[in-house]
Amino acid sequence: MNDLLKEKGSNQSSREILPKGVRIEFPKKTGFGDLASPVAMHLASPLKMAPRAIAIELQSRLSPLKEISHIEVAGPGYLNITFTLEFVHECLHKLLDADQSPISPVSSSKKILIEYVSANPTGPLHVGHGRGAAYGNSIARILKTLGHDVTSEYYINNAGNQMDLLARSTYLAWRDLQGNLSDEERAKILPDGTSYQGAYVTEIAREIAENPSLLSEEERKQALAGMDHSSLFLSRFSQIAEDRIMEGIRKDLNRFGIEFDRYFSEKTLHAPDPIEGQSSIDKCLAEIRDFSKSPEASGLADIPDLFEEDGALWLRTSLLGDDKDRVLRKSDGNLTYYAADIAYHREKISRGHDLFIDVWGADHHGYILRMQAAMKTLNALNKTDAELKVALIQLVNLLREGKPVGMSKRSGDFVTLSDVLDEVGVDATRFLYLTRSHESSLDFDLDLAKSKSMDNPVYYVQYAHARVCNLLKQAEIRGIKVPSKWNLQHLSPLVGDDEKALILLLDRFDLVVSECGSMMEVHPLTDYLTELAGHFHRYYFHNRILSPESGGEPLILARLALSSGVGRILRLGLSLLGVSAPESM
RNA sequence: GCGCCCGUAGCUCAGGGGACAGAGCAGCUGGCUUCGAACCAGCGGGCCGGGAGUUCAAAUCUCUCCGGGCGCACCA
């Protein structure tokens, strides 16, 4: 439908005037036609004509189209277009064709790598991670159905201080299990006194204590001897804790309907190559250094280069508007997290993607610019043109009885994703996360989600789907033969205004999904499905589908056709959200 | 102090130049002898944070002020 308008609109030799194309609206109120456009108003000034005169001109040119039953010029110059029933029936007919996807693929498919969740393996996933998980996964599903080549990945931050702290916390818990630990020894294990205190730490410690095969004889001896002697055993504790925690994270994700194509370990970036002896990060930094010095690079203006100052290694990110340049290797010789991240993106580029989508928590806001800057350098030296889009997921405010719940992982006072799934359920949790734009913070009230779960919009949508399934089942029970393939004749009894509106709403699905893809937002789809479910509930209530007052079997069949069209779109839409479409509830 | 996001119905939020500003929840009223009432019909509720500007047209764009969130390390 939009194509149709666009084609005709551009015949007005006004393509330059309307660079964004013809604006189309779906009127909210009845009486403004099926489609409305304020084009005439937009053309008024450049054409130096009165809006209404232009509208009338457009009206006369568009009305001969066979798809259009009539066009009205309304208000200051609106074009209100009404479609013919035949055209509307054709739309539905297409939607019912099982061989054809209701979603039209994008014109140019991209090779996309989406990285999301990527929670540190220092504890179970909490509600904040859940939001990023639901968002990233749905975006991935949407982009995939739009015809992109999508790979999903989880980056495991298993190197650095956080992991060291986890290892020490686990070790401390393990020592506590062995009994009488002096304060002095305690202070040696955790010099600044902070530690991870969640129950999962004690559990891991207990497992280590109870399962002799986890530690070698030598490691156990050293560990019992304490920190003074050698703390090499800490890396064992670290590894065991990471394994257990990642196992739990995978389980949670799996339960949440999420599988990654790949888990990428940060450690592998630090590990020296067995042959060359250099780690990926070292190699990447050397590459950038060489490139920065090359004559090729000196010709390029705004590519951040690598330089040394005050004994540290820097990337000149200020070239691209960053407040200051950023350190890659500290003067004490240690690498920063930034360096590892650059090496990671370097690795991603080598896999030949056009677009990277990184889904990060809102607290990484300040990190975007420097990552974009690094991408520029990496692209220049690899002669690639990969784009990085960062989706910042705003905070989830977890509430209980309307009061905020603390979520500090170290104090152990936080609610895990799996707790929420137990309480609220997978479908409701996913849907709830996706009802809001990821750019605004979300209040997640546990008691509300629990106690009012039957009022949750997800059930409203799922119930509409269950109703469709039930109708088809009932039809079968009543001996009504539902054709496996629908033709236009079947649909011709659909003449009611509500039926026409419902079909046009179904037809909009395609547009909504493609909008979600280009905007990188999921909530338009959630909204749409709620609206569609509402339309169907109303239609169902006001029309006896299997026993109409008149019209007989042809009308029954036509209405069943429409209902199964609704069912198909609901099912497809829900699957994009990762929410189930039950046949009965 | 600087940067980003946000301020719309009692609450949580859509709408991001166009026709009388929408939805869900909460509140009130009504509807099950029918293919499922997890539903439907109706009512009330708004200086779209304040002010100024751009425009034929501003909740939407610009500026400014006020209020809230987040970020600004040789941390991860």
DSSP single-letter state for residue A521? -
Residue A398: half-sphere exposure toward Cβ, Cα within 13 Å = 19
Confidence band, pLDDT 50/70/90 cuts, at residue A530: very high
What is the model's pLDDT at position A366? 83
Residue nearest to nucleotide B41 (CA to C1'): A538
Q: Which nucleotide is nearest to A474 (CA to C1')?
A: B35
Strand B bases, protein C-beta under 7 A:
3-6, 12-15, 18-26, 31, 34-36, 38-41, 56-57, 69-76
Q: Which nucleotide is nearest to A333 (CA to C1')?
A: B74
Place of tokens 């208000």: A75
Give the pLDDT band of residue A51 (cuts 50, 70, 90): confident
| Distance CA A456 to C1' B24 in A | 9
Strand partners, A43: none
Q: Measure A518 CA to B76 C1' (Å).
A: 32
Q: What is the pTM of this model?
A: 0.92
Supply the pLDDT for residue A450: 72
Nucleotide nearest to A27 (CA to C1'): B19
Q: Which nucleotide is nearest to A321 (CA to C1')?
A: B3
Is the pLDDT at A4 greater than 50, yes or no? Answer: no
Residue of A365, A347, A370 whose CA lies nearest to A264: A347
Q: How confident is the model at residue A413 (pLDDT cuts 50, 70, 90)?
A: low
Predicted pLDDT of residue A2: 44
Distance in Å from B43's C1' to A344's CA comes to: 59
By C-alpha to C1' distance, B18 is nearest to: A38
Low-confidence winner among A45-54, A110-119, A256-265, A382-391 (lowest mean pLDDT): A45-54
pLDDT of A3 strictly over 50: no
Q: Which residue has the higher pLDDT, A25 or A325?
A: A325
A576-585: per-residue pLDDT in tens? 999 999 999 8
Protein residue minimizing CA–C1' distance to B3: A366
* Residue carrying structure tokens 């509600």: A127
pLDDT of the residue at A12: 43
Q: Which nucleotide is nearest, taking the CA of residue A397 and each C1'?
A: B69
Q: For residue A544, give both structure tokens.
A: 């006896």
| Rounded CA–C1' distance between A81 and B53, in angstroms | 36
Nearest nt to the A331 alpha carbon by C1': B74
Confidence band of A11 (pLDDT split at 50, 70, 90): very low
Q: How many CB atoms lie within 10 A of CB A189?
A: 18
N residues, chain A: 585
- pLDDT at residue A410 above 70? no
A420 — phi, psi (to 5°)? -65, -40
Quick: pLDDT tens for A105-136: 998 999 999 999 999 999 999 888 999 999 99
In this structure, of A45-49, A166-170, A320-324, A564-568, the range with the lowest mean pLDDT score is A45-49
pLDDT confidence of residue A445: 78
ipTM of predicted assembly, 2 dp: 0.93
**What pLDDT digit, counting tens, does each position of A359-408 carry?**
998 888 888 889 999 999 999 999 999 999 999 888 888 777 666 666 55
